[in-house]
Amino acid sequence: MTSRTPVDLYGKAALPPCDGPRLKPFKYRKESIEFVSLLSEPPSSSPTGACAHVFKVKFGKRGYYALKIFKFKKIQDLRGEQWALSNENVSDDDLVFHSDPFYAECRAYGKIEEIEESMARKSSKASQRVAAQQIQSSTKQTKRKSRSQKNSRSQVTSKHSVDREAHRLAVPCYGFMGLPPTFEALLAERFGIFDWDRSSSDESMSQDIRAPFRALVKQLVENKPAFGRPRKMLADLKILRAHEIYQKDIAARNYMNGLLVDFGAAWTSPHWCLETLSRNQLHYELFSDLFEWDHMMREEIPSTVVRAAPLTSRLLSLRDYRELGHDMKYKNA
Ligand SMILES: Nc1ncnc2c1ncn2[C@@H]1O[C@H](COP(=O)(O)OP(=O)(O)OP(=O)(O)O)[C@@H](O)[C@H]1O
Ligand SMILES: [Mg+2]
């Protein structure tokens, strides 16, 4: 057993504390929080064992957001999950920081932010150049001109954020936050939620000194269709994959407003699975998003001709693929 790197959920440092992309804390985490409603399925009707509960919340005067509060995950459960045969040599840190749904989502969103920023920067390069020239000449001018410099800067910023919006690859995530364990009583009373999967040692402690909740703050999506244009959805998925973010749970319930919203099962490079699985395992695992995407589209938008999986692979039905993939896992481990 290796010792685990401590994590400060209330601090300023981005998470998780390991190699690869990280997510920043939510800027307004210190504002008062009001729970409005439960957005995810109520516990009684979610037999699939979701990894989190999602709430509509209000942060002080900042407005409404979606707050995804993650259940706790024991390290022995992570080790026991599907990759049990190949994870013996993986450190506790790598296992937790790559595979625990909270950290998996932090890493994926950390990387998504980098990609969106870089796409926005590229597409607004020309207008930034023009604005930069204006700024340069205005520095030599009078006070009045320095006001116009300010304006040019704000124009650059607003153009930049417009571009970022145009390059959204997922429902925006504004950062992570820790929530004091004392919220447990409120969530039980208001929403009948008790299933946080705490360890027995945590459970045996009084509520105020238990582990804090881990949460992500996202844009609230309400009254919007789950799907957008299939070509755009597929293009987004391919961009994510090209940057080695494999979402690993493509399903209609994980799309909102045409964008992916759930990265709790994602593999984001560097990831222990990408380094330790055999070639065959990786081949099937990495293609699964494409097969699942086609399957989802056949169910949800039968009229679409947009397909994700390459033609040759499509000759294999999804069921065959799953059986084969599952079989390969254990043959090649
Ligand atoms: N930003 C959001 N705005 C509005 N509703 C949301 C938002 N994020 C999630 N939800 C609702 O909560 C549900 C569960 O969210 P999410 O998929 O992130 O959690 P999960 O625990 O991983 O769920 P599952 O395991 O069922 O996929 C979504 O299907 C959606 O109905
Ligand atoms: Mg989900």
221 lines ligand 1 (CB under 6 A): yes
Bridge partners of residue 259, in order along the sequence:
256
- Could you tell me if residue 270 is inside a domain? no
Do residue 104 and residue 208 come from a single domain?
A: yes
- Which residue has its alpha carbon closest to ligand 1 atom 14? 40
If you measure from the C-alpha of residue 294 to the centroid of ligand 2, how many angstroms do you get, rounded to a whole number? Answer: 18
- Could you tell me if residue 269 is inside a domain? no
Which residue type, as a one-letter code, is found at position 316?
Answer: L
- Show the tokens assigned to 119: 């796409």
If you measure from the C-alpha of residue 290 to the centroid of ligand 1, how many angstroms do you get, rounded to a whole number? Answer: 21
- Could you tell me if residue 32 is inside a domain? yes
Do residue 81 and residue 157 come from a single domain?
A: no
- Show the tokens assigned to 111: 């990387």
Do residue 194 and residue 144 come from a single domain?
A: no
Q: What's the confidence (pLDDT) of residue 235?
A: 97
- Could you tell me if residue 268 is inside a domain? no
What span, in angstroms and rounded, lies between the C-alpha atoms of 145 and 264?
49
Which atom of ligand 1 lies nearest, measured to the CA of 254?
A: 17
Do residue 96 and residue 241 come from a single domain?
A: no
Other CB atoms within a 10 A radius of the CB of residue 218 amount to 23
Q: What's the confidence (pLDDT) of residue 14?
A: 98
Q: What's the confidence (pLDDT) of residue 121?
A: 87
Where are the alpha helices (H) located in the chain, listed in sequence order? 75-80, 92-99, 101-123, 125-139, 143-166, 183-191, 200-203, 230-242, 272-276, 279-300, 311-314, 318-332
What span, in angstroms and rounded, lies between the C-alpha atoms of 12 and 25?
6
Which atom of ligand 1 lies nearest, measured to the CA of 221?
A: 3
| Residue bearing tokens 């440092």 | 13
If you measure from the C-alpha of residue 261 to the centroid of ligand 1, how many angstroms do you get, rounded to a whole number? Answer: 7
- Could you tell me if residue 267 is inside a domain? no
Which atom of ligand 1 lies nearest, measured to the CA of 220?
A: 3
- Could you tell me if residue 156 is inside a domain? yes
- Could you tell me if residue 104 is inside a domain? yes
CB 71 within 8 A of CB 195: yes
Do residue 58 and residue 190 come from a single domain?
A: yes
Where are the alpha helices (H) located in 140-193, listed in sequence order? 143-166, 183-191
Output the average pLDDT for the chain: 86
Q: What's the confidence (pLDDT) of residue 86?
A: 75
CB 135 within 8 A of CB 46: no
- Which residue has its alpha carbon closest to ligand 1 atom 13? 40
CA 221, 223, 226, 230 dihedral sign is negative
Bridge partners of residue 58, in order along the sequence:
34, 64
| Residue bearing tokens 């040599």 | 89
Q: How many domains does the chain have?
A: 3
CB 153 within 8 A of CB 182: no
Please say if the pLDDT value at position 99 is more than 80. Answer: yes
Q: Cβ neighbours of residue 175 under 8 Å, at least 6 residues apart?
A: 23, 24, 25, 26, 27, 29, 216, 217
Kindly identify the ligand whose nearest atom is closest to the C-alpha of 64. 1
Do residue 238 and residue 123 come from a single domain?
A: no
Residues near ion ligand 2 (CB < 5 Å) are 254, 262
CA distances from 35 to 6, 185, 192 (A): 29, 13, 13
CB 261 within 8 A of CB 303: no
Do residue 297 and residue 314 come from a single domain?
A: yes
Do residue 233 and residue 250 come from a single domain?
A: yes
Peptide bond into 181 cis (omega under 30): no
**Is residue 68 left, alpha or beta, with left meaning phi > 0 and alpha meaning psi from -120 to 50?**
beta
Please say if the pLDDT value at position 330 is more than 50. Answer: no
pLDDT band at 247 (very low <50, low <70, confident <90, very high): very high
Provide the Cα torsion 215, 217, 218, 221; round to 10°: 90
Do residue 33 and residue 111 come from a single domain?
A: yes
What span, in angstroms and rounded, lies between the C-alpha atoms of 156 and 255?
31
Q: Cβ neighbours of residue 218 under 8 Å, at least 6 residues apart?
A: 65, 66, 67, 68, 171, 172, 173, 174, 261
- Could you tell me if residue 266 is inside a domain? no
51 lines ligand 1 (CB under 6 A): yes
Q: Which is higher by pLDDT, 220 or 82? A: 220
Kindly identify the ligand whose nearest atom is closest to the C-alpha of 264. 1
pLDDT band at 328 (very low <50, low <70, confident <90, very high): very low
Q: For residue 130, give its domain range.
A: 119-166
If you measure from the C-alpha of residue 293 to the centroid of ligand 1, how many angstroms do you get, rounded to a whole number? Answer: 18
Maximum average pLDDT range among 73-82, 95-104, 124-133 = 95-104
pLDDT band at 19 (very low <50, low <70, confident <90, very high): very high
- Show the tokens assigned to 316: 């294999």
Do residue 74 and residue 147 come from a single domain?
A: no
> Which of these ranges, 27-31, 85-89, 278-282, has the smallest mean pLDDT?
85-89
- Which residue has its alpha carbon closest to ligand 1 atom 18? 262
Do residue 154 and residue 187 come from a single domain?
A: no
Please say if the pLDDT value at position 309 is more than 90. Answer: no
Among 292, 270, 293, smallest CA distance to 104 is for 270
Domain termination site, one of 149, 166, 183:
166
pTM of the full structure: 0.86
CA 322: distance to chain centroid? Answer: 25
Q: Which is higher by pLDDT, 206 or 148? A: 206
pLDDT band at 333 (very low <50, low <70, confident <90, very high): very low
Do residue 45 and residue 81 come from a single domain?
A: yes
